[in-house]
């Protein structure tokens, strides 16, 4: 390859995982996009390049079944048949019916219910000390997405376990234990959703699974869409809440009167989803380099969201930040379908927490999940001063 900007950033390095932002700042100062020999792909660091990559239809998400294909079929089936792993025209065909079902007003109708669930969870916490992830940030979006789809609450713990097992496959170099757990989770998850979908075909209910079985999607596509919504519907939300809350409590900050502005800053400041890959179907120029056909490029959303070309004082958490064009939900055809739901949940759960516990403070060191791509805490001890 002729001389091109290169990077050897180790995304698995515990120091980087603990705080990737100084590393991103150094890289961004050197180049917009750089080749990573170890990862065999380009990495995009700045806001303009990340945005350009996500908008460019020549750079797609191209699903390849994971191997061995027989063993991994349960995992592959859930991915091959859903919108996020496909490009137009298949993407359009898979997204449109789900978007239509979503747009039926289920989200706004849920707002008072989200507040009610939040208050119930807070009733059960002990102000003397509790884990705000396990007791609040995690169960809330799981219950909400389960209710939206029509999955009985008794399965909430299973949903969380299955989802965590599946998403560990998205980290670099999964071990054989991780693969085994993901396959087992995919089998059980699909079985539950298939059973619920079969029930709704006979006895329709006022929920999203009923809406999905009423669309032109095939049986496998309904299962894949429901699993995608159940997973995407809580994984990132938990971490946006946890990451944003820790950032605020560490700085002694509180949500602004303009709560939606604080929610946007939580999304920007410490991105819950850091990396998404695309593959070029033809040569594409971006950030001063050319991604050749067949080559991969990954966007680093957390890096883009701290780009000083776009954000004033990007390293500052400003609860009232007004100009905030972050890319936490992506951009282009794969723009997060659940963004209105995620925003509504955060805009309800954040004030509910601070209205109940105005003196909330950290009560020990938050424990990181230790993963790069899905960035978050699995435990955040808090107490009321």
The footprint of ligand HEM (CB under 6 A) covers: 54, 61, 83-84, 95, 145, 228-229, 232-233, 236-237, 240, 272-273, 276, 328-330, 334, 336-338, 341-342
Residue with tokens 């509790």: 130
Closer residue to ligand HEM, CB minimum distance, 131 or 264: 264
Closer residue to ligand HEM, CB minimum distance, 133 or 342: 342
Give the shortest CB-71-to-ligand HEM separation in angstroms: 26
Distance CA 129, CA 124 (A): 12
> Are the C-beta atoms of 34 and 5 separated by less than 8 Å?
yes
Give the shortest CB-126-to-ligand HEM separation in angstroms: 27
Distance CA 318, CA 160 (A): 31
Give the shortest CB-234-to-ligand HEM separation in angstroms: 7
Give the shortest CB-232-to-ligand HEM separation in angstroms: 4
Give the shortest CB-384-to-ligand HEM separation in angstroms: 26
Closer residue to ligand HEM, CB minimum distance, 21 or 329: 329
Give the shortest CB-102-to-ligand HEM separation in angstroms: 7
DSSP 170: G
Hey, what are 314's tokens?
Answer: 């990007």
Closer residue to ligand HEM, CB minimum distance, 170 or 383: 170
Give the shortest CB-380-to-ligand HEM separation in angstroms: 17
Distance CA 274, CA 367 (A): 18
What stretch of H or E contains 303? Answer: helix 301-304
Query: Taking Cα atoms as reference points, which of 80, 58, 21 lies closest to residue 282?
Result: 58
What is the 3 state secondary structure string of 14-48?
HHHHHCCHHHHHHHHHHCCEEEECCCCEEEECCHH
Give the shortest CB-383-to-ligand HEM separation in angstroms: 26
Closer residue to ligand HEM, CB minimum distance, 84 or 151: 84
> Are the C-beta atoms of 349 and 100 separated by less than 8 Å?
no
Give the shortest CB-149-to-ligand HEM separation in angstroms: 9
Distance CA 71, CA 123 (A): 44
For 352, residues 6+ apart whose C-beta sits below 8 A from its C-beta are 115, 118, 119, 122
Q: Cβ atoms within 10 A of the Cβ of 316, count?
A: 11
Closer residue to ligand HEM, CB minimum distance, 70 or 95: 95
Q: How far apart are the first and last CA of the chain?
A: 59
Distance CA 191, CA 188 (A): 5
Return the half-sphere exposure (C-beta side, CA atoms, 13 A cut-off) of residue 275. 23
Instruction: Select the residue whose beta carbon is closest to ligand HEM and give its number.
Output: 338
Do the strands 41-44 and 296-300 form a parallel or antiparallel pair, or are they unpaired?
parallel
Closer residue to ligand HEM, CB minimum distance, 232 or 291: 232
Closer residue to ligand HEM, CB minimum distance, 88 or 288: 88
> Are the C-beta atoms of 368 and 274 separated by less than 8 Å?
no
Closer residue to ligand HEM, CB minimum distance, 6 or 61: 61
């Amino acid at each position: 390859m002729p001389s091109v900007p290169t990077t050897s950033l180790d995304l698995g390095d515990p120091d980087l995982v603990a705080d990737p932002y100084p590393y991103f700042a150094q890289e961004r100062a050197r180049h917009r996009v750089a080749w990573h020999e170890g990862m065999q792909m380009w990495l995009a660091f700045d806001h303009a390049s990340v945005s350009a990559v996500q908008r460019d239809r020549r750079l797609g998400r191209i699903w390849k079944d994971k191997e061995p294909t027989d063993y991994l079929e349960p995992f592959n089936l859930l991915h091959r048949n859903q919108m996020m792993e496909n490009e137009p025209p298949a993407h359009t065909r898979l997204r449109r019916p789900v978007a239509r079902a979503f747009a039926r007003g289920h989200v706004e109708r849920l707002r008072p219910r989200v507040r009610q669930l939040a208050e119930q969870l807070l009733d059960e916490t002990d102000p003397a000390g509790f884990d705000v992830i396990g007791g609040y940030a995690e169960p809330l979006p799981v219950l909400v997405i389960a209710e939206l789809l029509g999955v009985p609450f008794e399965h909430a713990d299973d949903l969380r376990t299955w989802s965590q097992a599946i998403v560990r496959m998205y980290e670099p170099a999964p071990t054989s234990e991780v693969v085994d757990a993901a396959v087992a989770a995919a089998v059980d998850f699909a079985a539950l959703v298939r059973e619920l979908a079969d029930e709704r075909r006979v006895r329709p209910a006022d929920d999203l699974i009923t809406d999905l079985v009423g669309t032109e999607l095939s049986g496998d596509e309904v299962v894949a869409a429901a699993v995608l919504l159940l997973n995407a519907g809580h994984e990132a939300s938990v971490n946006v809440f946890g990451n944003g809350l820790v950032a605020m409590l560490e700085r002694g900050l509180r949500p602004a009167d303009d709560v939606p502005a604080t929610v946007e800053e939580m999304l920007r400041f410490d991105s819950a989803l850091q990396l998404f890959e695309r593959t070029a179907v033809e040569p594409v120029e971006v950030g001063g380099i050319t991604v050749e056909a067949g080559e991969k490029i990954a966007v680093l959303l957390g890096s883009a969201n701290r780009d000083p070309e776009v954000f004033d004082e990007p390293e500052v958490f400003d609860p009232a930040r007004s100009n905030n064009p972050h890319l936490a939900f992506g951009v282009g055809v794969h723009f997060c379908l659940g963004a209105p739901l995620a925003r509504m949940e955060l805009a309800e759960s954040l004030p509910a927490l601070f209205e109940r516990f105005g003196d909330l403070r950290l009560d020990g060191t938050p424990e990181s999940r230790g993963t790069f791509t899905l960035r978050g805490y699995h435990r955040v001890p808090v107490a009321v001063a």
